[in-house]
Amino acid sequence: MQLKDTDLFRQRGLIGEAWQNANSGKTVDVISPATQSVLGTIPDMGAAETRDAIEVASRALKDWKKKTHAERAALLEAWHALMLKHEEDLALILTLEQGKPLAEARGEIRYGAGFVKWFAEEARRIGGSTIPSPTPDRRILVLKEAVGVCGIITPWNFPNAMITRKVAPALAAGCTVVIKPSEFTPYSALALGVLAERAGIPAGVINIVTGMPAEIGGELIGNETVRKISFTGSTRVGALLMRGAADSIKRLSLELGGNAPFIVFDDADVNLAVEGAISSKFRNGGQTCVCANRILVQSGIYDSFARKLAERVAQMKVGPGTEDGVVIGPMINAAAIDKIERHVEDALSKGAHILSESNFVPAGQQYARPLVLGGATTEMLIASEETFGPVAPLFRFEAEDEAIEIANGTPFGLAAYFYTQNLSRSWRVAEALEFGMVGLNTGAISTEVAPFGGVKQSGIGREGSQLGIEEYLEVKTLHVGGL
């Protein structure tokens, strides 16, 4: 690994001020998706180390929540500056462990750092309110206080930004955290821990427990000192955590799976729609929760949209994320490849056909071939499950109502996109879509300034924006009498 600052590559967990191994001494290998070689190891920690981390976070909470908002903001600003200063190293670590092309990894580092800056600013704006009293001798105040120790559980597809999107508002609000990063991509989290230390964030405010999920997750969810869990990942694990949280009535934020429709109406700007489909479908090799999973195209524009999309996809270069010109990196693991192949075979067996495929795919176990499939229908697996790969299935439709019905015909409700130039259709469709986020004539919907989150089985709560910090704040009402 050609890092300028080799100290950023840590292979130990962080509990308080100590970078630690597992009590058992056991480790888990972290595998490069591009080469399948071992990048390094992480401690295989369990319930005991997680309990220690929660205890340390609980002790650190006492001082951290008493700091002024400006003091916490200054420390977050320092952390943000260090992330930008080390952008190249952080991006390289991200690409090596996760696979995405370096240009995208740099983008993720800037996006991730954006949350830290945003919530440093929001820290100064945590305010309460006063309520006019029903009697003259009383005053009523509404105060906002830190929730407490938070468990942060993150996925592999955005190993940097999914952490800062949670940790920055938690710290800004006065909470301390125990992070459990994905076992596939732990090094981005650990590098963020190094930079937090250097920024002067006190020991114990950020703790990072690494290893296999069941024991660590079980302790985080079961331990009564943890007052909140913020999770991004699959709906299956989200439901498991929600059940576990019931016993100690924990607060929960859940950012779960999606099945985004991407609707192109006859009156769309076809070039804009193709651009949007490319960025929404193929970013991160199609491994994003908001990525277009079902591309619904109206009959009148179907042929021209399909042709233009097919031309672009045929040119996509697949390969290691560190190689120049690569736009699609390897998939995260063999299971991801299996799922993509299962979806494509199922679609082809039920009448879909390949409209286009990339001709620039190297040999290698974990490279998926970017594809455009024509003739997709709602009976196919590709319509009901997240494919999480570079496969664009096109569904033909005739009428607006039909498109809305197909789009909403899923238990998920994270992101949806549609393209039209017609003003009244814009409002009609935007209001009819049952999703937490809608892109109208754009495939770009992720920014720290806007609420991010889903409805239905895509989750609970919102991250980013002014709402993001509320997830880490409790409301205390103070009644003052005898005046």
Question: What is the set of active-site residues?
Answer: 255
In the bound state with ligand NAD, the residue whose beta carbon lies nearer, of 255 and 400, is 255
Q: What's the rounded Cα separation, in Å, for the pair 157 and 155? A: 6
In the bound state with ligand NAD, the residue whose beta carbon lies nearer, of 52 and 108, is 108
Could you identify the residue written with the tokens 């769309």? Answer: 268
- Least distance in angstroms from the C-beta of 185 to ligand NAD: 8
Reduced DSSP (H G I as helix, E B as strand, rest coil) percent helix, strand, coil of the chain, to 5: 40, 25, 35
> At residue 419, what is the residue type?
Y
For the segment 207-226, give every residue that binds ligand NAD (CB under 6 A).
213-214, 217
Q: Is 262 exposed, middle or buried (0-12, 13-18, 19+ CB in 10 A)?
A: buried
- Least distance in angstroms from the C-beta of 363 to ligand NAD: 26
Q: Give me the residue whose beta carbon is nearest to ligand NAD.
A: 217
3-state DSSP call for residue 50? helix
Token output for 351:
């009448």
Query: Binding mask 230-269 vs ligand NAD (x if CB under 6 A, - otherwise)?
Result: --xxx--x--x--------------xxxx-----------
User: CB 68: neighbour CB atoms within 10 A?
Assistant: 10
In the bound state with ligand NAD, the residue whose beta carbon lies nearer, of 183 and 474, is 183
Q: Which of 126, 289, 382, 416 binds ligand NAD (CB under 6 A)?
A: 289
Q: What's the rounded Cα separation, in Å, for the pair 252 and 229? A: 5
- Least distance in angstroms from the C-beta of 93 to ligand NAD: 17
In the bound state with ligand NAD, the residue whose beta carbon lies nearer, of 47 and 297, is 47
Token output for 446:
């992720």
For the segment 119-178, give every residue that binds ligand NAD (CB under 6 A).
153-158
439: part of which helix (H) or strand (E)? strand 437-440
For the segment 338-397, give every residue that binds ligand NAD (CB under 6 A).
386
Q: What's the rounded Cα separation, in Å, for the pair 225 and 234? A: 25
Token output for 314:
């045929």
- Least distance in angstroms from the C-beta of 256 to ligand NAD: 5
- Contacts of 462 by beta carbon, 8 Å cutoff, 6+ apart: 436, 451, 452, 453, 468, 471
Q: What's the rounded Cα separation, in Å, for the pair 250 and 400? A: 42
- Taking CB under 6 A as the binding criterion, the range among 82-90, 92-100, 227-235, 357-365 that sits at the site for ligand NAD is 227-235
* CA distance readout (Å), 53 to 13, 91, 205, 217, 249: 10, 27, 10, 13, 21
- Total binding residues toward ligand NAD, as defined by CB under 6 A: 26
For the segment 182-201, give every residue that binds ligand NAD (CB under 6 A).
182-183
In the bound state with ligand NAD, the residue whose beta carbon lies nearer, of 4 and 236, is 236
- Least distance in angstroms from the C-beta of 464 to ligand NAD: 10
Phi, psi of 62, deg, nearest 5 = -55, -45
For the chain, state the CA radius of gyration: 23
In the bound state with ligand NAD, the residue whose beta carbon lies nearer, of 199 and 331, is 331
- Least distance in angstroms from the C-beta of 253 to ligand NAD: 10
In the bound state with ligand NAD, the residue whose beta carbon lies nearer, of 258 and 319, is 258
- Least distance in angstroms from the C-beta of 174 to ligand NAD: 24
For the segment 442-461, give every residue that binds ligand NAD (CB under 6 A).
454, 459
3-state DSSP call for residue 199? helix
Is 414 one of the binding residues for ligand NAD (CB under 6 A)? Answer: yes
Using CB under 6 A, list all residues that contact ligand NAD. 153-158, 180, 182-183, 213-214, 217, 232-234, 237, 240, 255-258, 289, 386, 414, 454, 459
